[in-house]
Amino acid sequence: MRRTAIIAGRGALPAALVAALAERPFVAALEGFDPAGLIPDLAFRVERLVPFLRRLEAEGVGRVCFAGAVERPRLDPALFDPDTATMVPRLLTAMAQGDDATLREVLTIFEEAGFALAGVEEIAPDLVPGPGVLAGTVGDRDQADAARAAAIVATLGAVDVGQGAVVQQGLCLAVEALPGTDAMLAGVAGLPPALRPAGARGVFYKAPKPGQDRRIDLPALGPETLRRAAAAGLGGVAFQAGGVICLDLPGMIREAEAAGLFLWAREA
C-alpha cells in the first residue's frame, strides 16, 4: 500500500489524524498555515502546485487527506512555475464561484494527478460521531430550535455561506459567515438582552453544506466551542451526526457537563 499524505492547515486536526494512522504519513502544510503540535515534512505554495504534486509522488504517496483550517492565500504571480501557470485560469474561475467550488477544483486536480482522496472519517472514524445525546438533556424547545437552525444552515449552505446558526425560541440570533464560529458566538454573547427572547436559552447548530464533498472541509467543533457557547448564554450545542469533526470529544463532553449544556449529535 502506498503512503498517505496529510495536507495540513492550522489547528489540532492534522496531528489527530497522524496519531490515528499506524504508519507515520507524509505531512505537507500550506505555507503560513502550520498545524498545531506537528512539524510538517514540507511547506508548499499554491503557485508551485505541480512541483508539489511531483514531490508527493516521489515520496511514494498514493492517498491524500486534507485537514485543518486555511484561508485563501495571496498568490504571487512571480512565483508560478510554467506548469502551474497553466492551471491559473481554472483556479481563478473556481475561486470566483466561492469556497466550495474552489475546494472541488483542488480535489479534481489531485485526482487528475493520480492521488486517491480520503476523508477524515475514513482515517479516524471516531472523530465523526454518530447520532445521540452526548451530554445533558435535550428538551422539546431545544429540538424545535435545532430543527429551525438546521433549516437555516441548509439554506445558507446552498449559496456557499457558513455552516452554523444560533436559534433561540425560533428566532435566529446569528449565522456563521466568513469570520467563523468564534466571532459568531462572541456576537451572540454581546447581544443586548432586549434582543433575546425569554425562555429557552437557545441552540448553536453546525452542519456541512448541502451537497458538500465530505472528503474536504467538514466543519469541526472542539472544547473551546462549548466554552464559547456557555459564555453566549446558550443551552447547548447540536451538530449533524456523521457530518462534523469533533476534536477531543471527551473534552467537549466535560465542558458541556461543567457548564450545564447539552451536546447533541442530531440525526440529519
Look up the CATH number of the domain holding residue 247: 3.40.140.80
CB of 80 closer than 8 Å to CB of 93: no
Question: Are 162 and 103 in a shared domain?
Answer: no
Question: Are 132 and 262 in a shared domain?
Answer: yes
Instruction: Tell how far CA 246 is from the center of its chain.
Output: 10
CB of 244 closer than 8 Å to CB of 128: yes
In the chain, the amino acid numbered 243 is G
Cell matching residue 18: 497522524
CB of 240 closer than 8 Å to CB of 150: yes
DSSP state of 213: -
Q: How much is the pLDDT for 268?
A: 85
d(CA 233, CA 134): 19
Question: Are 35 and 109 in a shared domain?
Answer: yes
Q: How much is the pLDDT for 186?
A: 96
Question: Are 151 and 201 in a shared domain?
Answer: yes
Question: Are 45 and 166 in a shared domain?
Answer: no
Q: How much is the pLDDT for 178?
A: 83
Find where cell 463532553 sits. Answer: 253
Give the domain-ending residue among 123, 138, 169. 123
CB-based burial label for 9 (10 Å; 0-12, 13-18, 19+) = buried
Q: How much is the pLDDT for 71?
A: 75
Q: How much is the pLDDT for 212?
A: 78
Give the gyration radius of the chain's Cα atoms.
Answer: 20
Q: Is 0.75 topped by the overall pTM?
A: yes
One pLDDT digit (tens) per residue for the chain, 268 residues: 589 999 999 999 999 999 999 999 999 999 989 999 999 999 999 899 999 999 999 999 999 999 988 877 777 888 999 999 998 888 888 877 776 677 788 889 999 999 999 999 999 999 999 999 999 999 999 999 999 999 999 999 888 788 999 999 999 999 998 888 999 999 999 999 888 988 778 999 999 988 777 888 789 999 999 999 999 999 999 999 999 999 999 999 999 999 999 999 999 8
Give the domain-ending residue among 123, 140, 163. 123
Question: Are 140 and 255 in a shared domain?
Answer: yes
Q: How much is the pLDDT for 55?
A: 97
Q: How much is the pLDDT for 200?
A: 77
d(CA 226, CA 228): 5
Q: The domain containing residue 202 runs over which residues?
A: 128-266
Question: Are 102 and 137 in a shared domain?
Answer: no
Give the domain-ending residue among 79, 106, 123. 123
d(CA 257, CA 189): 20
